[in-house]
């Protein structure tokens, strides 16, 4: 085929694909223009997740009437004059492509008035064509209205997600800019209902209260000069790397990296190295697989950072990347160490020996005689019944001195996945030691209990018999704005798993009922972890999403490592594990047990070569 120049409207739509990915991309570009115009009050209104309408009004300096139509031309900008300006970008926008790209795939109405002019201008554009350009009267500032996004680009429209998902992306954009610019008042409305508003008083902590809620902010500590100056002032006066913000104490962690929010010179960025610097600051303070919650603002001289490396300006490149990495890690680490209590030296009276509880106990001895005095006794099989163990009739009694431990183990069941096991004891308050026909078995009590709870809850779900427990006092839980929209979309699914959760205004939800096994749990913490699992977003089927929530519930409620078990408790646990369909792994794929064969033991002891 012959080489030819593409039509201008086709070029515009191709270019728009790099800038306008979804409705939240429009919100981002418009907010950046408002911030660059010096706005102190930005109002965002969306209908149907931004597909039907996006309206952003600001009180900034506005656009001059004769330049209002020019603003929608490709490569038209007031923020760059020469190539040299690219090396010192102090504004959020600079390419002159955003408005042109948005106007090429939607209907745009721009009503604006420059602060130095008596009258304003009204411009209407329909998928790249200017329909109206006239003078109007209005207050200083700009109102941009975007309607029917992608209506004439069906290939792009069909790839948009549900209304709730698109709302969630918009919430994330607005709340991030509210955190980056606490001196600006942001208001967000979805379908006529206000979902977020910041005070605009310059205090980042107050913004975090609106985004994360009071319980979360109580767990967050200031990093550097968290109150800080306005972002514009910080950029103008910056002569070195400056790190500020807030980081949560280790006890308020998250299941993934999504709650590490980063800003560079007032610009929300995605930077794996900076995120890793924050994670490294929590070294030895967080459990493996858990991640911090942090909002970190980095200010560097404009000439030391390149923001022109990504079409959506979501990535940056530093001239001295290692210096920035070290500054972030050091600032967060210092704040954490200053806030955490000084550890006390261990008491010389603490018995640090590894316990091995051997059954059966000697005559006249208590089954729990080897416990430390500080450990409270457990209630035997009743403990397991409370969390869903020992479903077979009749609790097991501890063996007597003249009865073999195996006498209390039930007879082998048909289609057994495990051999009949004889319990010997417990090691390190974590592993159950058992003997089978093939050798020695070490059973991880936490992983085994996870498997039992998971299969029981799956079976109840399949039969429509999910056990739900009403809470005596409903628990209010505050969640971030973007998480609130996601949770709203999955309330029906959660109800099928035993949860009863109602919206309670704003970003607060009221938990009225939970699966029966969770009655003793920290409900607010459990809901946060479930939301984190939902945010991963890689489960294509509803059943996969349900299974993920069930795995989270089981992981939280399974008996923990470090808990001393009585012989009846160990026997009940092993008995129920034997009846599981897949007893050798937990729901996350971790082994529930390891086996040491008799032949291996004989080799270790030199009995065979």
The answer to whether residues 114 and 38 touch, using CB atoms and an 8 Å cutoff, is no
Query: What topology is assigned to 8-197 in CATH?
Result: Heat Shock Protein 90 (3.30.565)
State the CATH architecture for 356-450+562-604.
2-Layer Sandwich (3.30)
List Cα–Cα distances, 561 to 303, 422, 507, 523, in angstroms.
52, 21, 35, 21
pTM of the model: 0.67
* The CATH classification of domain 204-339, taken from the options 3.40.50.970, 3.30.230.10, 1.10.10.10, 1.10.1530.10: 3.30.230.10
* The CATH classification of domain 467-557, taken from the options 3.30.1370.100, 3.20.20.10, 3.20.20.220, 2.40.50.140: 3.30.1370.100
User: Which residues does the chain have with pLDDT short of 70?
Assistant: 1, 4-18, 75-76, 78-90, 93-96, 226-239, 308-314, 341-417, 537-541, 609
Q: Any idea what the Cα angle at residue 333 is, between residues 264 and 478, rounded to 5°?
A: 70
Q: Cα separation of 101 and 460, whole Å? A: 52
**Helix (H, G, I), strand (E, B), or coil: what is residue 303?**
helix
Give start and end residues of each alpha helix (H) in 537-566: 542-557
Instruction: Render pLDDT for 239-278 as a digit per residue (tens, 0 to 9).
Output: 489 999 999 998 888 888 889 999 999 989 988 889 999 9
**CA gyration radius, the chain:** 30
Instruction: Render pLDDT for 300-322 as a digit per residue (tens, 0 to 9).
Output: 988 888 776 655 566 788 888 88
Residue whose entry in the numeric block shows the structure tokens 């006529």 = 192
Domain segments of the chain as ranges = 8-197, 204-339, 356-450+562-604, 467-557
Closest C-alpha to 157, from 20, 9, 55:
20
Closest C-alpha to 476, from 456, 501, 452, 497:
501
The pLDDT of residue 377 is: 35
The answer to whether residues 32 and 60 touch, using CB atoms and an 8 Å cutoff, is no
Q: What backbone phi and psi angles, to 5 degrees, belong to 361?
A: -70, 160
The pLDDT of residue 388 is: 45
The pLDDT of residue 542 is: 72
């Amino acid at each position: 085929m012959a080489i030819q120049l593409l039509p201008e409207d086709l070029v515009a739509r191709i270019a728009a694909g790099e800038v306008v990915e979804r409705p939240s991309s429009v919100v981002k570009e418009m907010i950046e223009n408002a911030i660059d115009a010096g706005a102190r009050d930005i109002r965002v209104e969306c209908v149907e997740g931004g597909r039907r309408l996006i309206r952003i009004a600001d009180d900034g300096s506005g656009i001059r009437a004769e330049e209002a139509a020019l603003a929608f031309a490709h490569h038209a900008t007031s923020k760059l004059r020469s190539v040299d300006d690219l090396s010192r970008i102090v504004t959020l926008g600079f390419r002159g492509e955003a408005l042109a790209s948005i106007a090429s795939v939607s209907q745009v109405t721009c009503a604006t008035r420059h602060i130095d002019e008596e009258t304003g201008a009204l411009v209407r554009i329909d998928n790249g064509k200017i329909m109206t350009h006239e003078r109007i009267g209005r207050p200083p500032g700009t109102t941009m209205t975007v309607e029917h996004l992608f209506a004439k680009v069906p290939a792009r429209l069909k790839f948009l997600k549900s209304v709730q998902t698109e709302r969630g992306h918009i919430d994330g954009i607005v709340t991030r800019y509210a955190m980056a610019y606490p001196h600006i008042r942001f208001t967000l409305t979805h379908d006529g209902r206000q979902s977020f508003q910041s005070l605009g008083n310059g205090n980042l902590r107050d913004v975090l209260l609106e985004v994360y809620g009071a319980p979360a902010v109580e767990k967050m500590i200031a990093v550097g000069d968290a109150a800080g100056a306005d972002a514009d002032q910080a950029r103008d006066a910056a002569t070195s790397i400056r790190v500020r913000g807030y980081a949560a104490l280790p006890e308020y962690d998250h299941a993934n990296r999504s709650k590490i929010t980063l800003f560079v010179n007032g610009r929300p960025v995605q930077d794996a190295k900076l995120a890793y610097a924050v994670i490294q600051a929590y070294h030895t303070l967080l459990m493996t697989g858990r991640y911090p919650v942090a909002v970190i603002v980095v200010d560097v001289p404009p000439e030391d950072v390149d923001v022109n490396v990504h079409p959506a300006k979501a990535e940056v490149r530093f001239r001295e990347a290692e210096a920035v990495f070290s500054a972030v890690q050091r600032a967060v680490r210092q704040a954490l160490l200053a806030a955490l209590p000084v550890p006390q030296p261990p008491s010389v009276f603490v018995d640090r020996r590894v316990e091995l509880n051997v059954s059966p106990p000697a005559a006249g001895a208590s089954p729990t005689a080897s416990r430390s005095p500080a450990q409270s006794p457990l209630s035997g099989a009743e403990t397991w019944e409370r969390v869903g163990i020992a479903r077979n009739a009749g609790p097991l009694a501890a063996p007597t001195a003249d009865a073999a431990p195996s006498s209390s183990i039930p007879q082998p069941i048909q289609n057994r996945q495990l051999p009949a096991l004889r319990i010997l004891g417990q090691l390190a308050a974590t592993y159950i030691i058992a003997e089978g026909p093939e050798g020695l078995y070490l059973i991880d009590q936490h992983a085994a209990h996870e498997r039992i709870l998971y299969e029981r809850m799956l079976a109840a779900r399949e039969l429509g018999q999910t056990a739900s427990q009403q809470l005596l006092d409903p628990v209010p839980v505050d969640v971030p704005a973007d998480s609130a929209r996601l949770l709203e979309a999955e309330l029906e699914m959660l109800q099928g798993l035993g949860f009863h959760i109602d919206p309670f205004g704003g970003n607060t939800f009221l938990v009225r009922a939970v699966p029966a096994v969770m009655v003793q749990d920290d409900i607010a913490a459990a809901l946060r972890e479930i939301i984190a699992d939902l945010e991963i977003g890689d489960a294509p089927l509803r059943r996969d999403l349900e299974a993920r929530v069930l795995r989270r519930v089981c992981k939280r409620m399974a008996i923990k490592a470090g808990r001393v078990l009585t012989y009846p408790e160990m026997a009940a646990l092993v008995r129920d594990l034997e009846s599981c369909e897949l007893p050798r792994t937990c729901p996350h794929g971790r082994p529930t047990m390891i086996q040491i064969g008799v032949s291996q033991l004989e080799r270790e002891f030199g009995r065979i070569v």
